[in-house]
Amino acid sequence: MNVIIRKAILDDSQSIQKLIQSYASKGKMLARSLHHIFEHIRDFYVAATETGEIVGTCAFKVSQRELAEAKSLAVSEEYQHKGLATDLLNAGIEDIKLLGISKLFCLTYVPEFFEKNGFHRIKKEDLPHKIWTECINCPSFPDCDEIAMIRDIS
């Protein structure tokens, strides 16, 4: 399995959306429009096969001076349990550390994965209010059932 982790490019947008939608359709992730992905393409990393197939993605959004969010972490089912999600996470962490970010948070249905990667659970109320702007689009709003987690990356 030769898969590389790299920054996303515009040509990856439809594949990223398709991968995210495969999870969003099951209620496991917030759907992202193609327009949203275009606007935020610089936030995305992808896992790509030698043939160019996008088999994983993750975005990193700066929320505050020292805080960023890991979002839309998804790996194709046939490529799961091969370390790609961790590789995507680590690639983004290395990049955002260069910006001076010291903490990374996520909202997740898979806390075990993030715990294995150094995150710990926190109360949602401990996160800045402005991160909730996307929540209005969630089918679970206002009764969020995701788990908030954070990791010190400094």
pLDDT-above-70 percentage for the chain = 89
Q: How many domains does the chain have?
A: 1
Distances in Å between the Cα of 126 and the Cα atoms of 105, 123, 131 are: 11, 5, 11
Q: Hey, what amino acid is at 8?
A: A
Task: Provide the pLDDT confidence category of residue 126 given band limits of 50, 70 and 90.
Answer: confident
Mean of the pLDDT values across residues 86-96?
Answer: 98
**How much is the pTM?**
0.90
**86 contact partners, CB below 8 Å, separation of at least 6:** 116, 117
The domain in which residue 13 lies consists of: 3-152
Instruction: Assess whether pLDDT exceeds 80 at residue 130.
Output: no
Pairing of strands 103-108, 54-64: unpaired
Instruction: Assess whether pLDDT exceeds 90 at residue 144.
Output: no
- What CATH number does the domain containing 124 carry? 3.40.630.30
Confidence (pLDDT) at 135: 60
151 phi/psi in degrees, rounded to 5: -140, 135
Assess contact for 127 and 148: CB atoms under 8 A: yes
Structure tokens at 42: 């610089």
